[in-house]
Structure 1
Amino acid sequence: MSRTSNQAGGDVVRDFLLVADLLEEPQLAQLYAYLAHEGEATVQNMMDDLELAQGTAYSYVNRLVDAGVIEVTHDEQPQRYAACEIDLTVTTAAGDREYTITPALIDAVGRRETDADIDTYIDRHGVAGLATALTYAVARERGEVTHRLMAEDLDISPLAAEIILQALRSVVHEHYDIEASGASLDELDIDDGDAVDDT
Structure 2
Amino acid sequence: MEHDANRADGDIVQDFLSVADLLEEPQLAQLYAYLAREGEATVQNVMDDLELAQGTAYSYVNRLVDAGVLTVTDDEQPRRYAPREIDLTVTTAAGDREYTITPALIDAVGRRETDADIDTYIDRHGVAGLATALTYAIARERGEVTHRLMAEDLDISPLAAEMILQALRPVVHEHYDTEESGAGLDELDIDGDAADDA
TM above 0.5: yes
2:30–2:111 CA contact under 8 A, matched in 1: yes
Paired AA for residue 83 in structure 1: P
Equivalent-residue separation in structure 2 for 1:130 and 1:173 (angstroms):
16
What's the CA shift string for 1:99-122, capped at 9, x where partnerless? 100000000000001111111111
Pairing of 1:108-187 with structure 2 (within 5 A): 108-179=108-179, 181-182=182-183
Pairing of 1:40-51 with structure 2 (within 5 A): 40-51=40-51
Equivalent-residue separation in structure 2 for 1:6 and 1:128 (angstroms):
25
1:5–1:90 CA contact under 8 A, matched in 2: no
Partner of 2:14: 14
Kindly indicate whether residue 57 of structure 2 is the aligned counterpart of residue 57 of structure 1: yes
Partner of 2:66: 66
Equivalent-residue separation in structure 1 for 2:178 and 2:70 (angstroms):
27
Quote the offset at 1:96 in angstroms. 2.5
What's the CA shift string for 1:119-140, capped at 9, x where partnerless? 1111111111101100110111
What's the CA shift string for 1:58-83, capped at 9, x where partnerless? 00000000000011011100000011
- TM-score, structure 1 normalization: 0.88
For the aligned residue pairs, the C-alpha RMSD in angstroms reads 2.1
SS at match of 2:88: strand
Paired AA for residue 96 in structure 1: D
- TM-score, structure 2 normalization: 0.89
Equivalent-residue separation in structure 1 for 2:37 and 2:101 (angstroms):
16
Equivalent-residue separation in structure 1 for 2:80 and 2:184 (angstroms):
44
Paired AA for residue 106 in structure 2: I
Kindly indicate whether residue 58 of structure 2 is the aligned counterpart of residue 83 of structure 1: no
2:142–2:184 CA contact under 8 A, matched in 1: no
Unaligned runs of 5+ in 1: 189-199
Partner of 1:193: none
Equivalent-residue separation in structure 2 for 1:139 and 1:52 (angstroms):
34
Name the % identity: 84
Higher Rg = 1
Equivalent-residue separation in structure 2 for 1:83 and 1:119 (angstroms):
24
1:5–1:91 CA contact under 8 A, matched in 2: no
Paired AA for residue 64 in structure 1: L
Quote the offset at 1:182 in angstroms. 2.4
Paired AA for residue 182 in structure 1: A
Quote the offset at 1:5 in angstroms. 8.2
